[in-house]
Amino acid sequence: MEKWVLVTGASSGIGEELAKLYAKRGYCIALAARRADRLYDLAMKLETDTRVIPCDLADREACFDLFDAVADLNVEILINCAGFGAVGRFDAIDLERQIEMTDVNCTALMILTHLFLKEFRYRDCGAILNVASSAGLMPGGPNMAVYYATKAYVVSLTNAIFEELKIAGSNVKIAALCPGPVDTEFNKVADVRFALKGITPQYCAKCAAWGLDRGKRIIIPEEIMQMVRIASKLSPERMSLRITAHQQKKKI
């Protein structure tokens, strides 16, 4: 039976590169995102069977529809990559935009993780990669408050499920990908300029797949971000918040 990977947010960046990577590994690929034209262009480039599913995961019903749309496929890996950010003071960013961000970054990811995890647990195989961010490892993100909070949710949720699976002796894998800056369309959508040089989405995808293969819980591609994580743990939260606020202000 053919093995499938479902990738949300597959129209660009990390999601697109993960789709290419797993296609080269011999998996069939189900592509989900809002921009249908981008998905069909990508599907034409993949030398494997594909299924294109245009959808807006800010709509909760679309999450259930997506699950139903691949019910006939042998999905072995779910990659929750759909998400976006916005920069600015919490009270200055449009509220509807921040609600939509929470729906996509948190609610959609939670729904899909829940639906597929039940199937994976039943079969005692499968893997889930939740694309978070190094932001999710910090105590907070002044000037990107909601984005940081959503990614902290993804990390916390993944940590908890990882431990539940270990306690149950399950063979199902789950991991959170927590990169620092990546050279993708995120910058344009969030209207930010990163202070640090970003890694390529190709390298990020390679690190993500390597970590998932090895049953890692948290995958941090860059050594510098691993050191930042350690420094954040050792520093008083107020100091970490001030440093983060200073860095985020540079993006505006």
Domain ranges (residues) in the chain: 4-249
pLDDT tens for 194-250 read 555 789 999 999 999 999 999 999 999 966 555 555 555 555 565 555 555 555 555
CATH superfamily of 4-249: NAD(P)-binding Rossmann-like Domain (3.40.50.720)
* Burial annotation 39-54 (CB, 10 A radius, 16+ → b, else e): beebbeebebebbbbb
Q: In the prediction, which pLDDT does 1 show?
A: 84
User: Residues 162, 175: contact at Cβ < 8 Å?
Assistant: yes
44 contacts: CB under 8 Å, gap ≥ 6: none
147 is catalytic: yes
Helix (H, G, I), strand (E, B) or coil at 182: strand
Whole-structure pTM value? 0.87
pLDDT tens for 88-121 read 999 999 999 999 999 999 999 999 999 999 999 9
Among 27, 40, 122, 147, the one annotated catalytic: 147
Q: In the prediction, which pLDDT does 33 show?
A: 98
Alpha-carbon span 197 to 202, nearest angstrom: 15
